[in-house]
Chains A and B, each alone.
Chain A
Amino acid sequence: MIEFLQETRAQLVRWLIHLKREPYSMAFNLVNPVILLIFMGGAFQAIAGSSIGENYRAYLLPGILALTAFGNSLAGGIPLLFDKENGFLSRLMSTPISRGSMLVSRFLAVNINTMVQCAIILILGSLLGIRIATGLGGALLLLGIGLLLGFGITVLSLVLAFVLENHGDFFAVVGIATLPVSFLSSAFVPLNALPSWMRIVAELNPMTYAIDGMRSLVLSGWDGQPLIRMVLVLLIFDAAAFWLGSRVLRRHLA
């Protein structure tokens, strides 16, 4: 166990050094959420209907947090893919480390990054006048939900990193997945505002449940029903991703 912690810490430190020495990368990742929150939130406020309340930015905030967690987690496998392409991963795998430490360290790095970005978005939201109905406790829970959503997506991203041959294929998959997953959810508008076929797909999207749970914390206070539904859906999604991931990764990390 001590060896596992030692290996995990070493690899996590490497990923955090990357973050520290690539500050523009994190800033770049924040550009889209910030634009969405400031400009889209402002522009659509006037035409937003009664179903989304008085403050469209507050309505949008949970969707932006979920999309940030989704985007970071989906990109989480990219550094491992680069390591695979330049030989670093082969060398790493010739060392006597637990294969689990490679995955755990990557997961931690991705989610530390996500937490920092989500915290910045929450602070920005606060500066724009968004008041979270459940207060500081709710804000911390929003970060926790980001983790729960990010877990399964990070696992799928790590699977892609090992299964796909090169980063071109990876970026293609990420590019194809991001917009549909974003729009086929309740990130921007309520489900009942979507055309029926889009609503059906959105109801199969775990993001919808994460966003609905987060939205209840931001807009209406401590409401058990959406939170319990969200936790159940995300746990099932994470368990399914973990099951699939462990089967695929076991073959690649033997």
Chain B
Amino acid sequence: MSQPIVRIESLKKSYGLVVALDGISLEVDPGKIFGLLGPNGAGKTTAVKILTTLVRPDGGRAEVAGTDVLKNPAQVRRLIGYVPQELTVDPYLTAREHLHYYVDLYHLPSSSREPRIRELLDLVGLTGHENRPVRHFSGGMKKKLDLACGLIHQPPLLLLDEPSLGLDVQVRQEVWGYISRLKGEGTTAFLCTNYMDEAERLCDELAIIDRGKIAVVGTPASLRSQLKRDVISVEIARTNGLERENLETLERAVCQLHVVQGTARDGIQLKVYVESNEIALPQILQCAASLSIPIHAISYSRPGLDEVFLHYTGHSLEGKANLD
């Protein structure tokens, strides 16, 4: 059994009265893409900053490849690459100058510098733009360069804080592509995100974090299958401003059905969590008909990570929901 690349035990951190991490524990095996999924303020960035040695924990311990972040921070810094949430490129430098800068900071031998710089420029699609000052780059190009800088020394562990924050759809897909390819280079990625689709698409394993605590850890597929339920989405027809009232009436009624495990409202849509949509669907339709509530559309699906998040934390990533 190989040693975990990240081991966190009972990690605690508070900022004044605000508890950022309330004793979290987790392990990440090498060669994986691990995600920490949670809303803003859940403690994700604090966890990453402790792993980068930038923040001292109040209690517990954190190790990178068996090296304690408090006892040997200098060694930990050699093992990690870090791409923060904000863009950390220098507008006055060119892309090539950035990579030369980090080559020196990570003490790469002179023989491997140029090949590595060319390889990374190719990887992130900046070949041909390497001699332009970064202030002329688009946001997406800056993010790609940011990522390349974090990869310059082929770190065993790459820490990514919200890697696709503020990126357009195309650049987001490209960035996801680069992160997916890391596994082939022997780099483990540890990423924080509050995007369900990012966690779903990228992560081999993820931990849901909320209010400084880990709610659950598992693969996206295993987390979904643990729920053992389907989601039925009912969209109320628009009828002279009565939609909200109709939605509340329908929600109250379907909550009485014994096949219903929980509900959540989203605009004029009601999400109904059931064990089996085949059994529940006719009963919900009958319920709406008996209350004379017109339905615009109804659909069902297997649960996504948003439902997993809702189940384990009691609220959705975006806001509160009503789950029994």
Kindly supply a per-residue 1/0 record for chain A positions 187-223, scoring 1 wherever the CB is within 8 Å of any chain B CB and 0 otherwise: 0000000000000000000000000000000000000
Query: Which residues on A sit within 8 Å (CB–CB) of B263?
Result: none
B52 touches A96 (CB 8 A): no
Query: Which residues on B sit within 8 Å (CB–CB) of A9?
Result: 104
Of A86-94, A125-133, A155-163, the stretch lying at the interface with chain B is: A86-94
B78 touches A96 (CB 8 A): yes
Say yes or no for B105: interface residue by CB 8 A criterion.
yes
Query: Which residues on A sit within 8 Å (CB–CB) of B54?
Result: 90, 93-94
Say yes or no for A13: interface residue by CB 8 A criterion.
yes
B133 touches A95 (CB 8 A): no
Please, how many angstroms separate the alpha-carbon atoms of A68 and B8 in the complex?
51
Q: Name the interface residues of B97-116: CB closer than 8 Å to any CB of A.
A: 97, 100-107
The smallest beta-carbon distance between A178 and chain B, in angstroms, is: 26
A10 touches B92 (CB 8 A): no
Say yes or no for A18: interface residue by CB 8 A criterion.
yes
Please, how many angstroms separate the alpha-carbon atoms of A224 and B295 in the complex?
98
Instruction: Name the residue among B101, B102, B103 with the largest chain A CB count within 10 angstroms.
Output: B101
Query: Which residues on B sit within 8 Å (CB–CB) of A90?
Result: 49, 52, 54, 84, 88
CB-CB under 8 A for A95 and B102, given A3-B107, A14-B93, A21-B133: yes
Say yes or no for A238: interface residue by CB 8 A criterion.
no
B107 touches A87 (CB 8 A): no
Kindly supply a per-residue 1/0 record for chain B positions 51-95, scoring 1 wherever the CB is within 8 Å of any chain A CB and 0 otherwise: 011100000000000000000001001101010111110101100
Please, how many angstroms separate the alpha-carbon atoms of A17 and B74 in the complex?
28
Q: Chain A: how many interface residues by the 8 Å CB criterion?
A: 23
Query: Which residues on B sit within 8 Å (CB–CB) of A14?
Result: 90, 93, 97, 101
Kindly supply a per-residue 1/0 record for chain A positions 72-91, scoring 1 wherever the CB is within 8 Å of any chain B CB and 0 otherwise: 00000000000000111011
Please, how many angstroms separate the alpha-carbon atoms of A95 and B151 in the complex?
12
Q: Chain B: how many interface residues by the 8 Å CB criterion?
A: 28
B80 touches A97 (CB 8 A): no
A7 touches B86 (CB 8 A): no
A97 touches B92 (CB 8 A): no
Kindly supply a per-residue 1/0 record for chain A positions 96-119, scoring 1 wherever the CB is within 8 Å of any chain B CB and 0 otherwise: 110000000000000000000000
Please, how many angstroms separate the alpha-carbon atoms of A34 and B53 in the complex?
47
A91 touches B106 (CB 8 A): no
CB-CB under 8 A for A94 and B52, given A7-B105, A13-B101: yes
A86 touches B86 (CB 8 A): yes
A87 touches B84 (CB 8 A): yes
Please, how many angstroms separate the alpha-carbon atoms of A9 and B133 in the complex?
20
Query: Which residues on B sit within 8 Å (CB–CB) of A22?
Result: 92
Q: Name the interface residues of A25-57: CB closer than 8 Å to any CB of B.
A: none
Please, how many angstroms separate the alpha-carbon atoms of A127 and B52 in the complex?
55
A87 touches B88 (CB 8 A): yes
The smallest beta-carbon distance between B22 and chain A, in angstroms, is: 23
The smallest beta-carbon distance between B166 and chain A, in angstroms, is: 14
The smallest beta-carbon distance between B307 and chain A, in angstroms, is: 34
Chain A residue nearest to B100 (CB atoms) is A10
B88 touches A7 (CB 8 A): no
A94 touches B97 (CB 8 A): no
Query: Which residues on A sit within 8 Å (CB–CB) of B104?
Result: 6-7, 9-10
Query: Which residues on B sit within 8 Å (CB–CB) of A91?
Result: 82, 84, 88, 149
Q: List 10 A-B contacts (CB under 8 A).
A: A6-B104, A13-B100, A14-B101, A17-B97, A86-B88, A87-B86, A91-B88, A91-B149, A93-B53, A94-B80
- List 7 other contacts, CB 8 Å, given A9-B104, A90-B52, A96-B77: A6-B107, A22-B92, A86-B86, A86-B87, A87-B87, A90-B54, A95-B105
* Nearest 3 interchain pairs by C-beta: A10-B104, A96-B77, A87-B86
